[in-house]
Structure 1
Amino acid sequence: MSTPAPPSIPQSILRPVQFMAITFLVDNSIEWPLPPGFTHEMRHHLTHDVPELDPLTGVPILPLEDFCCAAHGFSALIVCTGTSEASPRFTLFDTGPESKSLSRNLAGLGTPLGPIERVVISHWHADHTGGLLSFLDRRSKEFGMRTIVDVHPNRPTARGIAPPPTGKVICQLPRDPTFEKIEAHGGTVEKHEEGHVVAGGTVWVSGEVPRVTPFETGLIGGMRFTPNEDCTGGSWSEEPDIMDERYVAVDVLGKGLVIFSACSHAGIVNVVKDAINRFSRPIYMIVGGLHLAGPEVAGRIKPTVDFLSEALIPAPTYVLPMHCSGFATKIALEAALGEGCVPAGAGHKVIINGNPSDDVTLGPPSVRLR
């Protein structure tokens, strides 16, 4: 599917931030070492908590019971402080696959729920929406607060997987929460087809991502169920283009754009091109799933890595391939970007401090099309 590129949107719509913190709450891999500014979970528990001292050795005991559990899905807490604000704004991007992992990891990390004013759902797949209702329940019960839930209005009845070559639907993903259930559990649904800013203008939530890159052809085996009008049954149809998928971007002074793409069904190259077209800012960091795992999409890895490391000038300072990116993709990115490919995972935290004096040196990126 191909759609025309959107008109350029003035950068002033997205307010730059002077401080940003990212905490990964749900992911399914963990590695180290990490570059400066990235904190492993172990340091968090030893420095931010008050660990128990072993009575015999007198040494702090690592509280492994509080360590984050891995899960097939994604969730990240985005904290931003604008240039004219004293207080940070908290945005939760996706909620993982089920109720247990997000709740456990929030508790284990001691993450405050009260300030999280908005949940942004990247797309309607259960490994990104599964923890939503339990999060809303907990925040509503503990703080008596409703939470804004920012979603694309095109919610499917059901989605499934039909791997090639048979095209047979082998499984259905758990159904995403309905709008009615979200409201009943303490959420206030906001439906957005178009791109918009949230968190006081510091976080951009995209609309549909234009599909302009030839090799990024969507989710192989993606299926959508359409019920009959009388709700007695229905039928499955191919749905490679997950058009409800959206990305999030934050503009850090002196650094450039930090892009969150939870699954990149649209293709991370399409995502980056859209962000550059809209904001004419360099890409500082790319975070999330790149959906390049598995032999059926192996041919996309090289052109993706070539684009990020060679065609995009300047190349991103950091790429954090998580969730559905795949081991082969991490190897290729590490070969191309060196320490710029960061093996982030659940429990890790990233601190980014903006520098207004450096911002004047950041020119618009260029893309050398091949």
Structure 2
Amino acid sequence: MSLKITTLIENEPDQNNFLINEHGLSLYIEINNIKILFDTGQSGNFIKNAKKLKVDLNNLDYVILSHGHYDHSGGFMKLVENINNSFKLIVGDGFLNKKYKLLEENKYRFNGNTFDEKFIKQNNIPTKYINEDTYNISEDVIVFSNFERSTDFEVLNKKFYIKKDTKYIIDEFLDEIVLAIKVKEGLVVILGCSHVGVVNILKTIMKRTGMPIYCVVGGSHLIEADDFRLKNTIKFLKENNISILRLSHCTGEKGIRELQCEFGEKFVYNNTGNIIEIS
């Protein structure tokens, strides 16, 4: 197994300010001969970064969009407009729901995708809507959905809604999907935003596979965590001996400080341009 993960765009800049950064996430993943784009940031600027990093997006086998928020799917239309190949799109069931964020009482801002099913069909994009618990891309590459919500400290953010007809209902993020890759040490887990809770996600994956987590990459949504949640998340990560932590995006400044303090060299902020290689 040869695995390389290149962060094409993320909230924070690269060390030399060579690349564009933005609030969002996009990862280019090479697993042996499989090439996956995981999320597309919010603007499409990840494409410019890919060129600078000499990443060829014309050879994609799969595009996986972790959930239907603009900062993870906003660059998808520009991707379709700028590449030549035919990839398979993988999204969670309910990904195309109209998503909103509550700003103040009775005031909502659209927070969802910049495209719809019509765009997908017009561009003849083969699409898999995940509704099963696990979906195998290959024997070693698995997409997970329908996460068990077993923790008492990870609660849904009541600022996120889905609009159905004229009603706004709490978004339970049933569309959220996560990628896991088997390596000899265990599982490398790729997160989008972890809206359902990073511990809920990791516990579910461990239960379904019977495998340990070796590395975690992506957004943990600890930005909204209180001290109790942060303490229990760190406790879980320690108890399960997770060797490599490359969290970023929605982890938040406090979460980053605590992770750096508790895990030392095991934790590196996965900013724009960062590369992770596991063989």
Shared fold, TM over 0.5: yes
Instruction: Tell me the distance in 2 between the aligned counterparts of 1:247 and 1:181.
Output: 24
Structure 1: state its 5+ residue gaps. Answer: 1-17, 33-41, 43-63, 82-87, 228-233, 354-370
Q: Percent identity?
A: 26
Tell me what 2:12 maps to.
29
- Change in Cα spacing, 1:169 to 1:160, as seen in structure 2 (3 Å) is farther
Are 1:91 and 2:33 an aligned pair? no
Deviation at 1:298, TM superposition (A): 4.9
Q: Of the two, which has the highest radius of gyration? A: 1
Letter of the 2:28 counterpart: L
Letter of the 2:180 counterpart: A
Instruction: Tell me the distance in 2 between the aligned counterparts of 1:328 and 1:131.
Output: 28
Deviation at 1:120, TM superposition (A): 0.8
Tell me what 1:358 maps to.
none
Tell me what 2:212 maps to.
282
Instruction: Tell me the distance in 2 between the aligned counterparts of 1:122 and 1:26.
Output: 15
Letter of the 2:146 counterpart: E
- Name the SS for the 1:114 alignment partner: helix
Instruction: Tell me the distance in 2 between the aligned counterparts of 1:176 and 1:206.
Output: 24
Instruction: Tell me the distance in 2 between the aligned counterparts of 1:307 and 1:339.
Output: 18
Give CA-to-partner distance per residue, 1:339-368, whole Å, 9 cap, x none.
Answer: 111122111111111xxxxxxxxxxxxxxx
Tell me what 1:114 maps to.
58
The answer (yes or no) to whether the contact 1:31–1:343 under 8 Å persists in 2 is no
Deviation at 1:180, TM superposition (A): 2.1
More strand by share: 2
**Structure 1 segment 1-370 matched on structure 2, within 5 A:** 18-30=1-13, 67-81=18-32, 88-99=33-44, 101-140=45-84, 145-162=85-102, 167-194=105-132, 195-198=134-137, 200-227=138-165, 234-239=166-171, 241-253=172-184, 255-294=185-224, 297-309=226-238, 311-312=239-240, 315-353=241-279
Instruction: Tell me the distance in 1 between the aligned counterparts of 2:57 and 2:122.
Output: 19
- RMSD, aligned α-carbons: 1.9
The answer (yes or no) to whether the contact 1:169–1:223 under 8 Å persists in 2 is no
Letter of the 2:23 counterpart: H
Deviation at 1:168, TM superposition (A): 3.5
Give CA-to-partner distance per residue, 1:308-362, whole Å, 9 cap, x none.
Answer: 11x32xx111111210000111111112211111122111111111xxxxxxxxx
The answer (yes or no) to whether the contact 1:183–1:189 under 8 Å persists in 2 is no
Instruction: Tell me the distance in 1 between the aligned counterparts of 2:88 and 2:143.
Output: 14
Deviation at 1:290, TM superposition (A): 0.8
Instruction: Tell me the distance in 1 between the aligned counterparts of 2:227 and 2:46.
Output: 30
Tell me what 1:356 maps to.
none
- Structure 2 length normalisation: TM-score? 0.93
The answer (yes or no) to whether the contact 2:13–2:19 under 8 Å persists in 1 is no
Count matched residues.
278
Instruction: Tell me the distance in 2 between the aligned counterparts of 1:174 and 1:193.
Output: 20
Deviation at 1:265, TM superposition (A): 0.5
Instruction: Tell me the distance in 2 between the aligned counterparts of 1:180 and 1:170.
Output: 25
Give CA-to-partner distance per residue, 1:76-128, whole Å, 9 cap, x none.
Answer: 111112xxxxxx210111111122x1221112212112321110111111111
Deviation at 1:22, TM superposition (A): 0.3
Considering Cα pairs closer than 8 Å and 6+ residues apart, tell me whether 1 or 2 has the greater RCO: 1
Structure 2: state its 5+ residue gaps. Answer: none
Instruction: Tell me the distance in 2 between the aligned counterparts of 1:288 and 1:307.
Output: 17
- Change in Cα spacing, 1:175 to 1:79, as seen in structure 2 (3 Å) is closer
Deviation at 1:237, TM superposition (A): 2.1
- Structure 1 length normalisation: TM-score? 0.71
